[in-house]
Amino acid sequence: MKDNMSLIDRRDFGALALLLGTRARRLSAAVGIEETLRAGVRSRAIPLAAAMVATASKTLYEGAVGKRDSSSGIDVTADSLFRIASMTKPVTATAAMQLVEQGKLALDEPVSKHLPQFGSLQVLEGFDKATNKPILRPARKPVLLRHLLTHTSGLVYENWDAALVKYLAQSAPVDPDTGRPVHPLMFEPGTRWEYGTNMDWTGRLVEAVSGLTLEEYFQRNILRPLGMNDTSFLVPADRSDRLVNVWQRQPDGSLKENPRTPFVAPKSFNGGGGLNSTPRDYVRFMQMILRRGSASDGQKVLQPKTVDMMTSIQTGSLSCGKLKSVKPENSSDVDFHPGFTDGFGFGFLINSQAYDGGRSAGSLAWAGIRNTFFWIDPKRGLCATLMMQFYPFCDKEAMGLLHDFERSVYAA
């Protein structure tokens, strides 16, 4: 009996040593990431940042540096509210793919079936040399939901398209629902990748088919099932103290803080951008993707085969994720993976080659214009987000911190 007890004691001791060793390594890894985050924010003079790293089931790291604004003294945390802008897009893609699963939408049907204004789209071919007036022609192909989800429709953003800026400087028709100018297509659907207002229209499509506002649809079908209780197009008064301020890079290189103003509810909800969220909430969305569509309690948000489609390159050999800025106050040039050709799935940029010292090949990513970033690495079972809150997008200091953070995550 004594010998048996000694054996059990030795086994218990070995298990305890293994457990303590694992915890010590995790603590050491978290300390390394924390040091990288704090040192990077300080050396790069970034006002604030919050970050999280997780697997499909647990948090590996969370941390935050800075104050909500320059005068309040309120610390930024993983529960602070950030304007995540285009990180809204993967959520909108999820909503659209839920409706595809239900047979209410189809990837290869014309969007005009549900949004009639898409039946008369025109392509901008250039400008008349004599009059400088735009030369427009009817599109030869219809825009499909597939095009919207992959940013191959021809709809673009003026931040990165000089021709659209020139077109909008002249008279352009206005959408009566949004009050915004109606954009022509910059190219024939399916022939190029260029980032644009595609997910804005995908959100309108979700509303038209579901009969709900995008806020209602998201809450019922995505956000509440995932426990994303702090994510919304709206910021209630009792949460306004958690909303962090925004800064703007100045011509002299300094960052100027925007005045803090009360949150104003939008008149409509934009699937291309507009959600407010926290790092902790957004990790729950990414964990759902890692679990191939399941919430933490097992509830299905998406079917596994749908997640497989969303997370596979759908753009063939087209080069994605590279943009030349024409409005440097809003965005610097964008090239997430210099020297490589990345693709796009349904809502995600996908790198076909691994990042040096970072994410695996086949990882998913996107970002928001105020320098909020995320990536999901299915091969390593890992997801991470880094949220800052200043313009311009892809500012060299923001990208520097993102790269340092990513390398520290994988070094750990």
Mean per-residue pLDDT for 187-195?
A: 98
Domain range summary for the chain, segments of one domain joined by +: 32-411
Question: CA-CA distance, 241 to 228, in Å (whole number)?
Answer: 18
Q: Is the pLDDT of residue 238 over 90?
A: yes
DSSP 3-state assignment of 168?
Answer: helix
Query: What count of other Cβ atoms lies within 10 Å of the Cβ of residue 80?
Result: 23
Residue 4: per-residue pLDDT: 44
- Which residue, 71, 19, 31, 28, is CA-closest to 47? 71
Element (H, E) at 10: helix 2-43
Question: CA-CA distance, 158 to 172, in Å (whole number)?
Answer: 14
For residue 59, report the phi and psi dihedrals to the nearest 5 degrees.
Answer: -85, 130
Element (H, E) at 41: helix 2-43
Question: CA-CA distance, 329 to 255, in Å (whole number)?
Answer: 12
What are the tens digits of pLDDT across the range 63-75? Answer: 999 999 999 999 9
Average pLDDT score over the chain: 93
Fold for 32-411, please state it. Beta-lactamase (3.40.710)
Q: What is the pTM of this model?
A: 0.92
Mean per-residue pLDDT for 283-309?
A: 98
Residue 11: per-residue pLDDT: 56
* Beta strand pairing call for 390-391 and 247-249: parallel
What's the pLDDT band for 26 if we cut at 50, 70, 90? low
- Which residue, 218, 104, 200, 113, is CA-closest to 153? 200
Strands (E), 303-369: 322-323, 334-335, 343-344, 349-350, 364-368
Q: Is the pLDDT of residue 179 over 70?
A: no
DSSP 3-state assignment of 71?
Answer: coil
Hey, what amino acid is at 117? Answer: Q
What positions carry a catalytic annotation? 86, 89, 195
Residue 1: per-residue pLDDT: 43
